[in-house]
Amino acid sequence: MKDNVIEFIRDYYQTKDFIPLHEPRFNAREEELVLNTIKSTFVSSVGKYVDEFENRLTDYTKSTKTIAVVNGTSALYAALYHCGVGVNDIVITQALTFIATANAVNQLNAQCAFVDVSKDTLGMCPNSLSEFLESNAVLREDNQCYLKSTGQRIKAVVPMHTFGHSVEIDKIVEVCDYWHLNLVEDAAESLGSYYKGQHTGTFGHYGAISFNGNKVITTGGGGAILCRSEQDGIELKHLTTTAKQPHAYKFFHDKAGFNFRMPNLNAALGCAQLEKLSDFVSNKRALAGEYEKLLAKSPYLFVKEPRDCHSNYWLNAIICEDINERNEFLEHTNKQGVMTRPVWELMTDLPMYEECITNNLENSRWFAQRLVNLPSSVML
Ligand SMILES: *Cc1c(COP(=O)(O)O)cnc(C)c1O
Protein backbone atom coordinates (compact mmCIF):
# COMPACT_ATOMS: atom_id res chain seq x y z
CA MET A 1 0.00 0.00 0.00
CA LYS A 2 2.90 2.38 0.74
CA ASP A 3 4.00 1.96 -2.86
CA ASN A 4 0.49 2.64 -4.14
CA VAL A 5 0.54 5.92 -2.24
CA ILE A 6 3.93 6.84 -3.69
CA GLU A 7 2.78 5.92 -7.18
CA PHE A 8 -0.39 7.99 -6.82
CA ILE A 9 1.58 11.04 -5.62
CA ARG A 10 4.15 10.74 -8.45
CA ASP A 11 1.31 10.42 -10.98
CA TYR A 12 -0.50 13.38 -9.54
CA TYR A 13 2.49 15.72 -9.55
CA GLN A 14 3.87 14.19 -12.76
CA THR A 15 7.48 14.10 -11.66
CA LYS A 16 10.23 11.62 -10.81
CA ASP A 17 12.05 14.30 -8.76
CA PHE A 18 11.79 14.99 -5.06
CA ILE A 19 8.24 15.94 -4.03
CA PRO A 20 8.03 18.41 -1.14
CA LEU A 21 5.20 18.60 1.37
CA HIS A 22 3.92 22.00 0.30
CA GLU A 23 5.42 24.46 -2.17
CA PRO A 24 4.12 27.83 -3.34
CA ARG A 25 2.73 28.44 -6.85
CA PHE A 26 3.40 31.67 -8.77
CA ASN A 27 2.87 32.85 -12.31
CA ALA A 28 3.25 36.05 -14.32
CA ARG A 29 0.88 37.96 -12.03
CA GLU A 30 3.17 37.65 -9.00
CA GLU A 31 6.13 38.75 -11.13
CA GLU A 32 4.14 41.71 -12.44
CA LEU A 33 3.07 43.07 -9.05
CA VAL A 34 6.42 42.48 -7.34
CA LEU A 35 8.23 44.10 -10.28
CA ASN A 36 5.83 47.08 -10.12
CA THR A 37 6.82 47.52 -6.51
CA ILE A 38 10.54 47.41 -7.26
CA LYS A 39 10.18 49.86 -10.15
CA SER A 40 8.17 52.24 -7.94
CA THR A 41 10.92 52.05 -5.24
CA PHE A 42 8.15 51.73 -2.60
CA VAL A 43 9.28 48.33 -1.38
CA SER A 44 9.13 49.03 2.33
CA SER A 45 6.79 50.72 4.79
CA VAL A 46 5.03 53.03 2.32
CA GLY A 47 3.00 51.92 -0.71
CA LYS A 48 -0.44 50.95 -1.91
CA TYR A 49 -0.25 47.17 -1.72
CA VAL A 50 -0.44 46.90 2.08
CA ASP A 51 -3.79 48.73 2.17
CA GLU A 52 -5.03 46.76 -0.81
CA PHE A 53 -3.99 43.43 0.74
CA GLU A 54 -5.68 44.30 4.04
CA ASN A 55 -8.89 45.40 2.32
CA ARG A 56 -9.06 42.28 0.17
CA LEU A 57 -8.50 40.06 3.19
CA THR A 58 -11.32 41.87 4.97
CA ASP A 59 -13.61 41.26 1.98
CA TYR A 60 -12.62 37.60 1.72
CA THR A 61 -12.92 36.70 5.40
CA LYS A 62 -15.67 39.23 6.29
CA SER A 63 -13.67 40.31 9.32
CA THR A 64 -14.37 43.85 10.50
CA LYS A 65 -10.78 45.00 10.03
CA THR A 66 -7.55 43.28 8.98
CA ILE A 67 -3.96 44.25 9.77
CA ALA A 68 -1.03 42.88 7.75
CA VAL A 69 2.08 42.12 9.81
CA VAL A 70 5.53 40.54 9.34
CA ASN A 71 4.57 36.97 10.23
CA GLY A 72 1.96 34.81 11.91
CA THR A 73 3.82 34.66 15.20
CA SER A 74 3.83 38.47 15.49
CA ALA A 75 0.10 38.46 14.63
CA LEU A 76 -0.52 36.16 17.62
CA TYR A 77 1.84 38.19 19.83
CA ALA A 78 0.20 41.54 19.00
CA ALA A 79 -3.33 40.16 19.40
CA LEU A 80 -2.52 38.66 22.81
CA TYR A 81 -0.71 41.84 23.88
CA HIS A 82 -3.79 43.88 23.00
CA CYS A 83 -5.95 41.49 25.05
CA GLY A 84 -3.85 42.55 28.02
CA VAL A 85 -1.77 39.37 28.33
CA GLY A 86 1.32 40.20 30.36
CA VAL A 87 3.89 38.94 32.86
CA ASN A 88 2.81 35.76 34.66
CA ASP A 89 -0.65 35.59 33.11
CA ILE A 90 -1.98 32.23 31.92
CA VAL A 91 -3.05 31.58 28.32
CA ILE A 92 -4.78 28.30 27.52
CA THR A 93 -3.94 26.59 24.24
CA GLN A 94 -3.76 23.05 22.85
CA ALA A 95 -0.84 20.66 23.39
CA LEU A 96 -0.84 19.54 19.75
CA THR A 97 0.12 22.63 17.77
CA PHE A 98 3.00 24.26 15.94
CA ILE A 99 5.54 25.84 18.28
CA ALA A 100 4.62 29.42 17.29
CA THR A 101 1.36 29.29 19.26
CA ALA A 102 3.18 28.65 22.53
CA ASN A 103 6.13 30.90 21.68
CA ALA A 104 3.87 33.94 21.20
CA VAL A 105 2.58 33.42 24.76
CA ASN A 106 6.08 32.89 26.10
CA GLN A 107 7.40 36.05 24.41
CA LEU A 108 4.87 38.05 26.46
CA ASN A 109 6.36 36.51 29.62
CA ALA A 110 3.06 34.74 30.16
CA GLN A 111 2.64 31.00 30.73
CA CYS A 112 0.85 28.39 28.67
CA ALA A 113 -1.66 25.92 30.02
CA PHE A 114 -2.30 23.02 27.66
CA VAL A 115 -5.59 21.23 27.07
CA ASP A 116 -6.38 18.25 24.84
CA VAL A 117 -7.47 18.18 21.21
CA SER A 118 -10.65 16.57 19.95
CA LYS A 119 -10.58 13.25 18.07
CA ASP A 120 -13.03 14.74 15.54
CA THR A 121 -11.25 17.98 14.66
CA LEU A 122 -7.55 17.60 15.67
CA GLY A 123 -8.00 21.03 17.29
CA MET A 124 -8.83 22.24 20.80
CA CYS A 125 -11.50 20.10 22.46
CA PRO A 126 -14.23 22.31 24.00
CA ASN A 127 -14.90 19.66 26.67
CA SER A 128 -11.26 19.47 27.67
CA LEU A 129 -11.15 23.27 27.90
CA SER A 130 -14.31 23.39 29.98
CA GLU A 131 -13.14 20.55 32.25
CA PHE A 132 -9.78 22.24 32.77
CA LEU A 133 -11.48 25.47 33.83
CA GLU A 134 -14.01 23.69 36.07
CA SER A 135 -11.20 21.97 37.98
CA ASN A 136 -8.58 24.71 37.99
CA ALA A 137 -10.20 28.13 37.64
CA VAL A 138 -12.34 30.47 39.67
CA LEU A 139 -14.28 33.61 38.72
CA ARG A 140 -13.73 36.19 41.47
CA GLU A 141 -15.88 39.19 42.44
CA ASP A 142 -13.94 41.38 40.02
CA ASN A 143 -15.43 39.16 37.26
CA GLN A 144 -11.96 38.00 36.24
CA CYS A 145 -10.79 34.43 35.87
CA TYR A 146 -7.99 33.12 38.12
CA LEU A 147 -6.00 29.93 38.47
CA LYS A 148 -7.04 28.55 41.87
CA SER A 149 -3.66 27.05 42.78
CA THR A 150 -1.50 30.16 42.27
CA GLY A 151 -3.89 33.10 41.93
CA GLN A 152 -2.52 33.91 38.45
CA ARG A 153 -4.92 35.58 36.03
CA ILE A 154 -6.15 33.40 33.17
CA LYS A 155 -6.41 35.90 30.33
CA ALA A 156 -7.02 34.20 27.01
CA VAL A 157 -7.74 31.01 25.09
CA VAL A 158 -5.98 30.20 21.79
CA PRO A 159 -7.49 27.30 19.81
CA MET A 160 -5.70 26.32 16.59
CA HIS A 161 -7.42 25.08 13.41
CA THR A 162 -5.09 22.17 12.66
CA PHE A 163 -4.14 21.60 8.97
CA GLY A 164 -7.04 23.91 8.01
CA HIS A 165 -9.76 21.85 9.76
CA SER A 166 -11.78 24.05 12.08
CA VAL A 167 -12.32 23.40 15.77
CA GLU A 168 -15.87 23.48 17.14
CA ILE A 169 -15.42 27.18 17.61
CA ASP A 170 -19.01 28.00 18.66
CA LYS A 171 -18.63 25.75 21.72
CA ILE A 172 -15.29 27.34 22.57
CA VAL A 173 -16.86 30.80 22.25
CA GLU A 174 -19.49 29.72 24.82
CA VAL A 175 -16.87 28.52 27.30
CA CYS A 176 -14.84 31.72 26.88
CA ASP A 177 -17.92 33.87 27.40
CA TYR A 178 -18.84 31.99 30.57
CA TRP A 179 -15.33 32.39 32.05
CA HIS A 180 -14.80 35.96 30.77
CA LEU A 181 -11.80 34.97 28.67
CA ASN A 182 -10.43 36.61 25.53
CA LEU A 183 -10.48 34.40 22.46
CA VAL A 184 -7.67 34.57 19.91
CA GLU A 185 -7.92 32.01 17.10
CA ASP A 186 -4.68 30.68 15.68
CA ALA A 187 -5.98 30.53 12.10
CA ALA A 188 -2.44 30.47 10.66
CA GLU A 189 -3.23 27.31 8.69
CA SER A 190 -6.88 27.94 7.90
CA LEU A 191 -7.18 30.83 5.43
CA GLY A 192 -10.07 29.73 3.18
CA SER A 193 -11.64 27.44 5.81
CA TYR A 194 -15.13 27.99 7.18
CA TYR A 195 -17.11 26.80 10.17
CA LYS A 196 -20.90 26.79 9.62
CA GLY A 197 -20.34 29.16 6.71
CA GLN A 198 -18.30 31.72 8.64
CA HIS A 199 -14.57 32.18 8.01
CA THR A 200 -12.24 30.78 10.67
CA GLY A 201 -10.46 33.46 12.66
CA THR A 202 -13.53 35.73 12.78
CA PHE A 203 -15.28 34.12 15.77
CA GLY A 204 -12.85 35.31 18.45
CA HIS A 205 -11.75 38.82 19.34
CA TYR A 206 -8.84 38.21 16.98
CA GLY A 207 -7.69 35.65 14.43
CA ALA A 208 -4.05 35.24 13.39
CA ILE A 209 -3.19 34.21 9.80
CA SER A 210 0.23 33.22 8.42
CA PHE A 211 1.58 33.76 4.90
CA ASN A 212 4.79 31.84 5.40
CA GLY A 213 6.12 30.08 2.28
CA ASN A 214 4.49 26.75 3.15
CA LYS A 215 0.98 28.07 3.83
CA VAL A 216 -2.04 28.09 1.49
CA ILE A 217 -0.92 31.41 -0.01
CA THR A 218 2.34 33.19 0.74
CA THR A 219 3.90 36.65 0.95
CA GLY A 220 7.37 35.18 1.50
CA GLY A 221 7.00 35.87 5.19
CA GLY A 222 3.93 37.54 6.55
CA GLY A 223 0.86 37.41 8.70
CA ALA A 224 -2.42 39.17 9.39
CA ILE A 225 -4.67 39.89 12.33
CA LEU A 226 -8.41 39.57 11.70
CA CYS A 227 -10.22 41.91 14.11
CA ARG A 228 -13.84 41.63 15.19
CA SER A 229 -14.06 45.19 16.50
CA GLU A 230 -13.28 48.24 14.39
CA GLN A 231 -11.88 50.07 17.43
CA ASP A 232 -9.55 47.19 18.39
CA GLY A 233 -8.41 47.08 14.78
CA ILE A 234 -7.56 50.78 14.72
CA GLU A 235 -5.63 50.47 17.98
CA LEU A 236 -3.75 47.38 16.79
CA LYS A 237 -2.78 49.01 13.50
CA HIS A 238 -1.37 51.95 15.46
CA LEU A 239 0.46 49.64 17.89
CA THR A 240 2.00 47.44 15.17
CA THR A 241 3.30 50.46 13.23
CA THR A 242 5.40 52.10 16.00
CA ALA A 243 2.41 53.99 17.46
CA LYS A 244 3.34 57.12 15.54
CA GLN A 245 0.80 59.91 15.42
CA PRO A 246 0.20 60.93 11.82
CA HIS A 247 2.04 64.13 10.96
CA ALA A 248 3.81 65.47 7.88
CA TYR A 249 7.23 65.55 9.56
CA LYS A 250 7.08 65.28 13.36
CA PHE A 251 7.99 62.08 15.22
CA PHE A 252 5.55 61.77 18.04
CA HIS A 253 4.84 58.23 19.28
CA ASP A 254 2.21 57.93 22.00
CA LYS A 255 3.02 54.32 23.07
CA ALA A 256 5.89 51.85 23.08
CA GLY A 257 4.72 50.20 19.85
CA PHE A 258 6.06 47.45 17.60
CA ASN A 259 7.58 47.49 14.14
CA PHE A 260 5.43 44.66 12.79
CA ARG A 261 4.25 46.30 9.56
CA MET A 262 4.28 44.08 6.47
CA PRO A 263 6.56 45.57 3.79
CA ASN A 264 4.91 46.68 0.54
CA LEU A 265 7.02 44.20 -1.44
CA ASN A 266 5.52 41.27 0.48
CA ALA A 267 2.01 42.72 0.23
CA ALA A 268 2.36 42.95 -3.57
CA LEU A 269 3.08 39.22 -3.68
CA GLY A 270 0.12 38.69 -1.35
CA CYS A 271 -2.28 40.64 -3.60
CA ALA A 272 -1.36 38.44 -6.56
CA GLN A 273 -1.72 35.28 -4.44
CA LEU A 274 -5.12 36.34 -3.04
CA GLU A 275 -6.52 36.44 -6.58
CA LYS A 276 -5.80 32.70 -6.74
CA LEU A 277 -6.96 31.68 -3.26
CA SER A 278 -10.40 30.36 -4.24
CA ASP A 279 -8.90 28.26 -7.03
CA PHE A 280 -6.18 26.98 -4.71
CA VAL A 281 -8.76 25.88 -2.14
CA SER A 282 -10.89 24.06 -4.78
CA ASN A 283 -7.76 22.41 -6.10
CA LYS A 284 -6.68 21.28 -2.63
CA ARG A 285 -10.14 19.95 -1.85
CA ALA A 286 -10.11 17.93 -5.07
CA LEU A 287 -6.73 16.41 -4.14
CA ALA A 288 -8.10 15.56 -0.69
CA GLY A 289 -11.00 13.77 -2.39
CA GLU A 290 -8.56 11.69 -4.43
CA TYR A 291 -6.48 10.80 -1.39
CA GLU A 292 -9.64 9.78 0.40
CA LYS A 293 -10.64 7.43 -2.42
CA LEU A 294 -7.16 5.95 -2.69
CA LEU A 295 -6.89 5.29 1.03
CA ALA A 296 -10.43 3.98 1.59
CA LYS A 297 -9.28 0.38 1.28
CA SER A 298 -5.95 0.79 3.08
CA PRO A 299 -4.80 0.35 6.67
CA TYR A 300 -4.42 4.15 6.84
CA LEU A 301 -7.27 6.37 7.95
CA PHE A 302 -7.55 9.54 5.86
CA VAL A 303 -8.26 12.67 7.95
CA LYS A 304 -11.48 14.21 6.63
CA GLU A 305 -12.85 17.68 7.32
CA PRO A 306 -14.96 17.63 10.50
CA ARG A 307 -18.71 18.17 10.57
CA ASP A 308 -19.81 21.79 9.92
CA CYS A 309 -16.39 22.60 8.44
CA HIS A 310 -15.51 23.55 4.88
CA SER A 311 -11.76 22.99 5.05
CA ASN A 312 -8.97 24.39 2.90
CA TYR A 313 -7.19 21.02 3.37
CA TRP A 314 -3.92 22.89 3.81
CA LEU A 315 -2.05 19.67 4.65
CA ASN A 316 -3.54 16.25 3.98
CA ALA A 317 -3.02 13.75 6.75
CA ILE A 318 -3.42 10.07 7.52
CA ILE A 319 -3.61 8.18 10.79
CA CYS A 320 -1.43 5.06 11.03
CA GLU A 321 -2.35 2.09 13.21
CA ASP A 322 0.50 2.65 15.63
CA ILE A 323 3.86 4.34 15.97
CA ASN A 324 5.76 1.49 14.27
CA GLU A 325 3.49 1.66 11.23
CA ARG A 326 3.97 5.41 11.20
CA ASN A 327 7.76 5.17 11.33
CA GLU A 328 7.82 2.60 8.53
CA PHE A 329 5.61 4.83 6.39
CA LEU A 330 7.82 7.88 7.01
CA GLU A 331 11.01 5.91 6.28
CA HIS A 332 9.70 4.32 3.11
CA THR A 333 8.19 7.44 1.52
CA ASN A 334 11.04 9.80 2.38
CA LYS A 335 13.59 7.29 1.07
CA GLN A 336 11.71 7.31 -2.25
CA GLY A 337 11.89 11.10 -2.49
CA VAL A 338 8.27 11.71 -1.49
CA MET A 339 8.27 13.99 1.50
CA THR A 340 6.00 13.01 4.39
CA ARG A 341 6.21 14.25 7.94
CA PRO A 342 5.02 13.31 11.42
CA VAL A 343 2.89 15.82 13.31
CA TRP A 344 4.62 18.17 15.78
CA GLU A 345 5.94 16.93 19.12
CA LEU A 346 3.49 17.84 21.87
CA MET A 347 4.38 21.19 23.44
CA THR A 348 4.52 19.48 26.84
CA ASP A 349 7.29 17.17 25.53
CA LEU A 350 9.57 20.12 24.71
CA PRO A 351 12.04 21.27 27.38
CA MET A 352 10.79 24.87 27.65
CA TYR A 353 7.14 23.90 28.09
CA GLU A 354 7.34 20.61 30.03
CA GLU A 355 6.62 22.30 33.37
CA CYS A 356 3.41 23.93 32.15
CA ILE A 357 0.09 23.03 33.72
CA THR A 358 -2.00 20.64 31.58
CA ASN A 359 -5.24 18.74 31.38
CA ASN A 360 -5.39 15.04 30.43
CA LEU A 361 -3.78 14.87 26.96
CA GLU A 362 -4.93 11.43 25.83
CA ASN A 363 -6.05 12.38 22.31
CA SER A 364 -3.02 14.62 21.72
CA ARG A 365 -0.71 11.73 22.62
CA TRP A 366 -2.66 9.32 20.44
CA PHE A 367 -2.36 11.62 17.41
CA ALA A 368 1.28 12.50 18.09
CA GLN A 369 2.20 8.85 17.55
CA ARG A 370 0.09 8.24 14.46
CA LEU A 371 -0.41 11.33 12.27
CA VAL A 372 1.50 11.72 9.02
CA ASN A 373 1.19 14.59 6.53
CA LEU A 374 1.20 13.87 2.79
CA PRO A 375 2.32 16.13 -0.07
CA SER A 376 -0.41 18.74 -0.53
CA SER A 377 0.83 21.42 -2.94
CA VAL A 378 -1.61 22.87 -5.45
CA MET A 379 -1.30 21.27 -8.91
CA LEU A 380 -2.80 23.38 -11.70
C1 LIG B 1 2.61 28.80 10.46
C2 LIG B 1 1.99 28.87 11.80
C3 LIG B 1 2.10 30.01 12.64
C4 LIG B 1 2.83 31.27 12.29
O5 LIG B 1 3.96 31.09 11.60
P6 LIG B 1 4.89 32.25 11.03
O7 LIG B 1 5.98 31.43 10.44
O8 LIG B 1 5.32 33.10 12.17
O9 LIG B 1 4.14 33.02 9.99
C10 LIG B 1 1.45 30.00 13.84
N11 LIG B 1 0.73 28.95 14.25
C12 LIG B 1 0.58 27.85 13.47
C13 LIG B 1 -0.28 26.74 13.97
C14 LIG B 1 1.22 27.77 12.25
O15 LIG B 1 1.07 26.65 11.51
Question: Hey, where are the domains in the chain?
Answer: 2-24+277-348+357-374, 28-276
Whole-number Å distance, alpha carbon 224 to ligand 1 midpoint, is: 11
164 alpha-carbon distance from chain centroid: 8
In terms of DSSP bridges, do strands 154-158 and 90-94 run parallel, antiparallel, or are they unpaired?
parallel
| pTM metric for this prediction | 0.98
Whole-number Å distance, alpha carbon 72 to ligand 1 midpoint, is: 5
- Among the atoms of ligand 1, which is closest to the Cα of residue 101? 11
Q: How far apart are CA 84 and CA 100, in angstroms?
A: 19
**Residue 197 falls in which region: left (phi positive, over 0), alpha (psi -120 to 50) or beta:** left
- Among the atoms of ligand 1, which is closest to the Cα of residue 221? 9
Whole-number Å distance, alpha carbon 189 to ligand 1 midpoint, is: 7
Q: Which residues contact 377 (CB under 8 A, 6 or more apart)?
A: 13, 20, 21, 22, 23, 25
CATH topology of domain 28-276: Aspartate Aminotransferase; domain 2 (3.40.640)
- Out of 3.40.50.2300, 1.10.357.10, 2.102.10.10, 3.90.1150.10, the CATH code matching 2-24+277-348+357-374 is 3.90.1150.10
Residue whose CA is closest, atom 9 of ligand 1? 72
Residues within a 6 A CB radius of ligand 1: 71-73, 97-98, 100-101, 160, 186, 188-189, 210, 212, 223
pLDDT in tens, the chain (380 residues): 899 999 999 999 999 999 999 999 999 999 999 999 999 999 998 889 999 999 999 999 999 999 999 999 999 999 999 999 999 999 999 999 999 999 999 999 999 999 999 999 999 999 999 999 999 999 999 999 999 999 999 999 999 999 999 999 999 999 999 999 999 999 999 999 999 999 999 999 999 999 999 999 999 999 999 999 999 999 999 999 999 999 999 999 999 999 999 999 999 999 999 999 999 999 999 999 999 999 999 999 999 999 999 999 999 999 999 999 999 999 999 999 999 999 999 999 999 999 999 999 999 999 999 999 999 999 98
Are the CB atoms for 135 and 114 separated by under 8 Å? Answer: no
- Among the atoms of ligand 1, which is closest to the Cα of residue 214? 1
- Among the atoms of ligand 1, which is closest to the Cα of residue 210? 9
Whole-number Å distance, alpha carbon 11 to ligand 1 midpoint, is: 30
